Structure 1
Amino acid sequence: MFPNTLNDRLHQYWLLARFDKPIGILILLWPTLWALWISGNGKPDLLVLTVFVLGVVLMRAAGCVINDYADKDFDPHVDRCKLRPIAAGKVTPKEALIVFAVLCLTAFGLVLLMNLYTIALSFIGAFLAASYPFMKRFTHLPQAYLGAAFGFAIPMAFAAQTNEIPTVGWMLYLAVLLWALVYDTMYAMVDIDDDLKIGVKSTAILFGKRVREITATLQLIIMMLLVAVGLMQHLNWPYYLGLLVAGGFSLYQQKLIFHFHKPDCFKAFLNNNWFGLAVFIGLLVAYV
């Protein structure tokens, strides 16, 4: 039975877009802000900043909607997902596609305020975001593909600020791609039993019992890339202090996933919000 009132419909769309769970927005926002502060030498253009912050909110929502549409046959069999609006029968797949289109078109309207280079890059970013949910059917590396999609705001931010993407921009993009791979692997560890049962692929399955060693190695590489970014930009000590704090959060995440306890794996995923915030605060103070 579908709710009939306008408020009920809007509430279901709100849940579909996961606006009730802002962790996804935050975990996308922090690296976008990293890129905007670095590309703007600590003083990002106000219009660019506004467009990208709103774009993060809209595209994260669009990503959640298309993900649930793609997983409409899987989610009813996954404990954590079976109450989502499509899986629970409260939003139809057709409605979901309409919501997805509205969110994407609104975001594209904002991108049109940027330069031609950024507009051109937005088509690549949109393709990555729309195609990601289907990757788990074909590859054990959907988390890497997610990183490519989530991180694409990085080159777009440099293009919007400077009309070019320098080497430091691509280095930061790689760091963000690997970071998303790590935190989404921790997220996938929560669903590993259900994923195995329904035939969905993930890095948590691919890495198996070596997931801790592999994610720890990736976290080390991420820190090295972020240090390199700081050296290339001649950032001063507050940035590296921020990285030190972020490194502490990475160690804490390894502690959380050590016993493969699902609630703790989910806590490790959530803790990445603080990792992103620590790096941003370090950047913010370094440019003062």
Structure 2
Amino acid sequence: MKRFTFWPQAYLGLTFNWGALLGWAAIRGSLDPRIVLPLYASGVFWTLVYDTIYAHQDKEDELKVGVKSTALHFGDSTKEWITGFGIACLSGLALSGYNAEIGWPYYAFLAAASGQLGWQIWTVDLSSRADCNCKFNSNKWFGAIIFGGILAGKLVS
């Protein structure tokens, strides 16, 4: 996709997060669009955050070989874009959790995950390959916090 569009990270998000729909259907035997569509969308937006940060590591090489990415497309506006994607991700997670009737601990964990994602976005040095890699790798903690919130929320619901 990098040869065709400045949005390969969106395509990645659409394909990577397809598992949310498949996983729900495999467990439940059907799809509940009130739950799975915001969940799927939140995954796509999360991918746009972390993979745009990752793409900033490669922007000089991508310019040399003539491929595209959101890092090149957004340029100096990257932090504004990924802030919007982060807000959309967290909103989708909140809506999905609400529609799934997950208990209150989920939202406490979601607040913690918001802090972790905000820390990534606000502190990332997009001109430093090492820092972009560090922030990209920190997404394992964002995912772990969300997972913990789902578990804790289901225990009390």
TM exceeds 0.5? yes
- On the 8 A contact 1:212/1:258 being kept in 2, the answer is no
Report what 1:278 is aligned to: 145
Task: Choose which of 205, 209, 221 in structure 1 pairs with 2:72.
Answer: 205
CA positional deviation for 1:283:
0.7
Structure-1 separation of matches of 2:121 and 2:40: 23
Report what 2:48 is aligned to: 181
CA positional deviation for 1:258:
4.3
- On the 8 A contact 1:256/1:265 being kept in 2, the answer is no
Deviations 1:86-143 (A, max 9, x none): xxxxxxxxxxxxxxxxxxxxxxxxxxxxxxxxxxxxxxxxxxxxxxxxx111111110
Task: Choose which of 152, 160, 163 in structure 1 pairs with 2:18.
Answer: 152
Greater Rg, structure 1 or structure 2? 1
- Where structure 1 has 5 or more consecutive residues not aligned to the other structure, the ranges are 1-134
Structure-1 separation of matches of 2:81 and 2:18: 23
Q: CA RMSD in A?
A: 1.2
CA positional deviation for 1:259:
5.3
Task: Choose which of 138, 152, 163 in structure 1 pairs with 2:29.
Answer: 163
TM-score, structure 1 length as denominator? 0.52
Report the count of equivalent residues.
154
Q: Percent identity?
A: 37
Of structures 1 and 2, the one with the larger relative CO (CA 8 A, separation 6+) is 2
Structure-1 separation of matches of 2:87 and 2:2: 26
Task: Choose which of 105, 125, 136 in structure 1 pairs with 2:2.
Answer: 136
Q: Does 1:216 align with 2:83?
A: yes
Query: Within 5 Å, which residues of 2 pair with 1:26-37?
Result: none
CA positional deviation for 1:207:
0.7
- On the 8 A contact 1:235/1:286 being kept in 2, the answer is yes
Structure-2 separation of matches of 1:253 and 1:263: 13
Deviations 1:232-287 (A, max 9, x none): 12222210111111111111101332453221111111111100000000111111
TM-score, structure 2 length as denominator? 0.93
Deviations 1:4-37 (A, max 9, x none): xxxxxxxxxxxxxxxxxxxxxxxxxxxxxxxxxx
Structure-1 separation of matches of 2:91 and 2:59: 29
Deviations 1:32-54 (A, max 9, x none): xxxxxxxxxxxxxxxxxxxxxxx
Structure 1 segments of 4 or more deviating over 3 A?
none
